[in-house]
Amino acid sequence: MMRIDLISAVPDVLRSPIEHSIIKRARDAGFVDIQIHDLRDYSTDKHRKVDDYPYGGGGGMVLSPQPVFDCIESLQGEHNYDEVVFPTPDAPAYEQQDAVNFSMKKNIIILCGHYKGVDQRIRDSLVTKEYSIGDYVLSGGELPALVMVDSIVRLIPGAIGDAQSALSDSFQEILLGAPVYTRPADFRGMNVPEILQSGDHKKVEQWKHEQAIEKTKKVRPDLYENFIQEQQNQEWQQ
User: Does the footprint of ligand 6GU cover residue 141 (CB under 6 A)?
Assistant: yes
Q: Which is nearer to ligand 6GU, 127 or 212 (CB)?
A: 127
Shortest Cβ distance from residue 71 to ligand 6GU (Å)? 19
Q: Which is nearer to ligand 6GU, 64 or 88 (CB)?
A: 88
Q: Which is nearer to ligand 6GU, 67 or 117 (CB)?
A: 117
3-state per-residue secondary structure call for the chain: CEEEEEEECCCHHHHHHHCCHHHHHHHHCCCEEEEEEEHHHHCCCCCCCCEECCCCCCCCCEECHHHHHHHHHHHHHHCCCCEEEEECCCCCECCHHHHHHHHCCCEEEEECCECCEECHHHHHHCCCEEEECCCCCCCECHHHHHHHHHHHHCCCCCCCCCHHHHHHHHHCCCCCCCCCCCCCCEECCEECCHHHHCCCHHHHHHHHHHHHHHHHHHHCHHHHHHHHHHHHHHHHHC
Shortest Cβ distance from residue 216 to ligand 6GU (Å)? 23
In the set 8, 43, 64, 88, which binds ligand 6GU (CB under 6 A)? Answer: 88
Residues 101-140 that bind ligand 6GU (CB under 6 A): 115, 132-134, 136-138, 140
Q: Select the residue whose beta carbon is closest to ligand 6GU and give its number.
A: 87
Q: Which is nearer to ligand 6GU, 85 or 176 (CB)?
A: 85
User: Does the footprint of ligand 6GU cover residue 144 (CB under 6 A)?
Assistant: yes
Enumerate binding residues for ligand 6GU (CB under 6 A): 87-89, 115, 132-134, 136-138, 140-141, 144
